[in-house]
Amino acid sequence: MRPPAFWQTDAGRGSAALTRALLTPLGAAYAWATQWRIETTDPENVYIPVICVGNLTLGGTGKTPIVRALLAMLEAAGHHPAALSRGWKGRLDGPAKVDPETHSVRDVGDEPLLLAQDHAAWIAKHRVAGARAIEAAGHDCIVMDDGHQNPTLHKDLSLVVVDGETGWGAGRIFPAGPLREPVERGLARADAVVVMMPDAGSEPDYVRLSLADLEVPVLRAWLEPAGPPPAGPLLAFAGIGRPQKFYDALAAAGGEIAETASFPDHHAFNARELARLADLAEAHRATLVTTEKDWVRLPQEWRARIPAWPVAARFASPDRMSGLLSMAVDGSSGQG
């Protein structure tokens, strides 16, 4: 789905304001149900540390690039981590280790398939079962992609990722806004916050984000190109939470964007759509380019024809992030 415009601002009149008002009681019920589940669930423990990378909003905040960065940092420190995802929109319940050679997006979802390109990744609809499978496979720690609102599994470190530009949107709970729960309540369970900025030189508005007086660490991060954009005119397309972030980053890195095409988050591209994009690119004498997350959702025959532009998460203070990981992993042998 594409997020409605009123998710980002309370301004406006007419149908948007009426829709928001009608949806607000549903948001209150959604928040109550989330809080009830958290308060009435006793988290289960496994014998290896669990690091959760979550958020408070629906849509793209940069969680998965942060997960990839943490997996790489843990591996560099001599650990044997594995990612754990729900496998959203995948048909497999798991627990299952993701194999990029044999599994498809329809099997496991796009984010686990992306993580599995470089790291050990597992999917499980039931997180505790997934964590136990990862433990049994010999891994010494888990990085869970999403799950801040899932209380079933004990977490040794809970990170909340927030987009520094869009923040918490209009501050309304889904479906009246993008929030999964009230900001104050969600931040109270966080051990640290990662603010994703558009580049290394941007500073967050900590007051607007309700982070100025937070007692837990607040770290700044951004996505950095892992390589130059393809040469020549480009037709950039994306089906992620905020496609414009991809286009802006591509242009900032020197990409010559001739045209863009945006699709809903997690969009499953079909051959007809891709043929139309190829025709449009030919009309512009441009090269098709997309994100890594979109690339894993392309039909196999199109992957050789369309390059992905890789990016990686970078931290303003990597030593602080390493310290948090060390406290969670080296300072804990699990709680089981």
Name the CA dihedral angle for 229, 231, 233, 239, rounded to a multiple of 10 degrees. -30
Q: Is 60 assigned to a binding site?
A: yes
Q: Tell me the C-alpha distance between 279 and 283, whole Å.
A: 6
Helix, strand, coil % in the chain, rounded to nearest 5:
35, 20, 45
Pairing of strands 50-54, 157-163: parallel
At 114, which amino acid appears?
L
Q: Alpha helices of the chain — where are they, by DSSP H?
A: 15-40, 63-76, 105-108, 110-115, 127-136, 183-188, 243-252, 271-283, 292-295, 300-303, 318-329
Write down the domain spans for the chain: 50-224+314-329, 227-309
Just give the CATH number of 50-224+314-329.
3.40.50.300
Q: Is 58 assigned to a binding site?
A: yes
Q: Which helix (H) or strand (E) holds 193?
A: strand 192-197
Q: Is 59 assigned to a binding site?
A: yes
- Block residue for tokens 């042998």: 333
Specify the pLDDT at position 1: 54
Q: Is 61 assigned to a binding site?
A: yes
Task: Give me the residues of the chain with pLDDT under 70, please.
Answer: 1-7, 9-16, 18, 20, 60, 332-336
Please indicate, yes or no, whether the overall pTM of this predicted structure exceeds 0.85. yes
Specify the pLDDT at position 238: 93
Local structure of residue 169 (DSSP, 8 states): T
Q: Is 64 assigned to a binding site?
A: yes
Local structure of residue 319 (DSSP, 8 states): H
pLDDT tens for each residue of 76-126: 999 999 999 998 888 999 899 999 989 988 899 889 999 999 999 999 999
Q: Tell me the C-alpha distance between 84 and 116, whole Å.
A: 10
